[in-house]
Amino acid sequence: MNREKVFSYLGFAARSRNLVTGYNTCVLMMEKKRIKLLILTEDLADNTMKKMLQQCSRSNVEYRIFGNREQLSHITGKSDKGIFGITDRHFAEIICKEIDRIQSEREVF
């Protein structure tokens, strides 16, 4: 299934140091224009979600809401994170495409 693809790309991004996690780090990296894609987990606190979405629009960063903290933290080797920033353009494009495909399939069913 496509979710597995996203998980493996996220794992690769983490291992190749093209992934940053956590609220403060991601905000800082967005301000420095380093983040190409921000992934927020579906179980992120409402207030945090709102703040991050505002930051995305201010910094003109693309984002996707996908997965849950437990899954993504486990895959990326980070503990209990709900905010993931992809710093590599190619990883960002591939992951973005896969997430969009999954979410469009979900709407069909």
Three-class SS state of 63: strand
The residue written with tokens 């709102």 in the block is 50
DSSP annotation string for 50-86: HHHHHHHHHHT-EEEE-S-HHHHHHHHT-SS--EEEE
pLDDT in the model for residue 107? 72
Classify 2-108 by CATH class: alpha beta
* pLDDT given for residue 21 in this prediction: 96
pLDDT of residue 89: 97
For residue 80, the 8-state DSSP code is: S
Domain ranges for the chain: 2-108
- Residue 83 CA to residue 38 CA, distance in Å, equals 7
pLDDT score for 109: 60
* Cβ pair 34, 91 in contact under 8 A: no
Low-confidence ranges of the chain (pLDDT < 70): 1, 108-109
